[in-house]
């Protein structure tokens, strides 16, 4: 760790532009780390804690974290994997999920990656791509680019591309199709291996974790006849066990448990089918497990 690293505030690198910029700022805000960005400055001091937010290119965040210019960084796991430098993975942020895929033109006869031996493949992920091809014994010429990979077959410089796919609309617009999935990634928080203030970094991670978990869970509350409680608890086991409270009517009780947000509708239907009533789903804004 450099002397400079020891003396300065803890630094968090966040994407300065692109789709991750806004969601990262929002996440830090919700985690009680508010800051007001000044367009002219790349640094901003967080009002609540001794930390500094640094706005950087998403692609540069892995290397700048590994080099110690920043202590924590929000970036894509795809970029971390491509960077290949030693970093501590602290948290999956539950956003920006995408896959890296080997794609060819819709009307191409290629159906297997092995058909690409000796061909040209355009990508912004040369390291991941090279490793993946080598593992399969395929030797191809890589055309390394920093963007707009999706048009390279049309431009005539590649026979296939390795690109990120999120919604699939870029593939459709450029008449491409996936022949193999290389990896799945999401937005992550990474840390330098020698952070000066590890306790502060841990606090930040716990705060962000509270928001990430809160976003993927809901709180379900319902009333259930005592005789059906065991069945209901099997449907909503909660993390450790659900909270069960007595009601004025001794034949009924109230249950409270966290459930995965995406599963809430199905769970409510199952609870209703076993006799639950007054089933209420509430959003959670923050939590510590
Ligand atoms: C990324 C990626 C794909 C596209 C996939 O490009 O390289 O082209 O998003 O998203 P979709 O499946 O939702 O269409 P980005 O917009 O980041 O710009 P880039 O081409 O400069 O990399």
Query: Which amino acid residue places its CA nearest to atom 18 of ligand 1?
Result: 147
pLDDT in tens, 29-62: 999 998 888 877 888 998 888 999 999 999 999 9
What ligand 1 atom has the least distance to the C-alpha of 169? 14
Q: Report the residue among 15, 170, 182, 184 best suited for mutation to probe ligand 1: largest number of ligand atoms under 8 A from its CB.
A: 170
Q: How far is the CA of 161 from the centre of ligand 1 (A)?
A: 12
Burial of 279 from C-beta contacts in 10 A (0-12 / 13-18 / 19+): middle
- Could you tell me if the CB of 169 is within 6 A of ligand 1? yes
In eight-state DSSP terms, residue 9 is P
* DSSP label at residue 96: -
pLDDT digits (tens, 9 = 90+) for 172-188: 999 999 999 999 999 99
pLDDT of residue 58: 96
3-state secondary structure of 66: helix
pLDDT band at 155; cut points 50, 70, 90: very high
d(CA 148, CA 17): 17
Q: Which residues fall within 8 angstroms of residue 169, CB to CB, at 6 or more apart? A: none
As to burial, measured by CB atoms within 10 angstroms (0-12 exposed, 13-18 middle, 19+ buried), residue 131 is middle
Distance 184 CA to ligand 1 centre (A): 15
Cβ atoms within 10 Å of 22's Cβ, excluding its own: 11
* Residue having the nearest C-alpha atom to atom 3 of ligand 1: 164
Residue 218 near residue 261, CB atoms below 8 Å: yes
In this structure, which residue's CA is closest to atom 19 in ligand 1? Answer: 147
Say whether pLDDT at 265 is over 90.
Answer: yes
What's the CA gap between 43 and 196, in Å, rounded? 19
Rg (CA), the chain: 24
Domains, in order of start, for the chain: 3-96+187-196 (3.40.190.10), 98-184 (3.40.190.10), 218-283 (3.30.70.120)
The best mutation among 161, 166, 177, 185 to test binding of ligand 1, ranked by most ligand atoms within 8 Å of the C-beta, falls on 166
3-state class of 243 per DSSP?
strand
State the DSSP code for 272: H
Full-model pTM:
0.90
Helix (H, G, I), strand (E, B) or coil at 193: coil
pLDDT value of position 258: 96
């Amino acid at each position: 760790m450099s002397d400079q690293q020891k003396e300065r505030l803890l630094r968090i690198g966040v994407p300065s532009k692109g789709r991750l910029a806004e969601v990262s700022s929002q996440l830090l805000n919700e985690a009680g780390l508010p800051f007001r960005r000044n367009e002219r400055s790349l640094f901003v001091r967080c009002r609540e804690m001794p930390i500094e937010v640094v706005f950087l290119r998403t692609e540069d965040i892995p290397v700048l974290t590994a080099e110690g210019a920043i202590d924590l960084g929000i970036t894509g796991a795809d970029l971390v994997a491509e960077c290949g430098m030693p970093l501590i993975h602290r948290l999956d942020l539950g956003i920006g999920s995408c896959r890296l895929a080997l794609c060819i033109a819709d009307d191409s006869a290629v159906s297997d990656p092995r058909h690409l031996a000796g061909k040209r493949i355009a990508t912004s992920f040369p390291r991941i791509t090279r490793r993946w091809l080598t593992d399969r014994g395929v030797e191809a010429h890589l055309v390394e680019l920093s963007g707009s990979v999706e048009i390279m077959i049309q431009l005539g410089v590649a026979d296939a591309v390795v690109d990120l796919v999120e919604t699939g609309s870029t593939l459709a617009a450029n008449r491409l199709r996936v022949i193999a999935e290389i990896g799945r990634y999401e937005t992550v928080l990474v840390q330098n291996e020698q952070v000066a203030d590890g306790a502060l970094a841990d606090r930040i991670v716990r705060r962000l974790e509270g928001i990430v978990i809160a976003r993927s869970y809901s709180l379900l509350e319902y009333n259930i006849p005592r005789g059906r409680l065991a069945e209901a608890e099997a449907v909503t086991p909660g993390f450790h066990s659900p909270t069960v409270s007595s009601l004025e009517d001794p034949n009924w009780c109230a249950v409270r448990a966290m459930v995965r947000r995406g599963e809430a509708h199905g769970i409510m239907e199952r609870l209703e089918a076993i006799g639950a009533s007054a089933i209420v789903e509430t959003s959670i804004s923050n939590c510590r497990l």
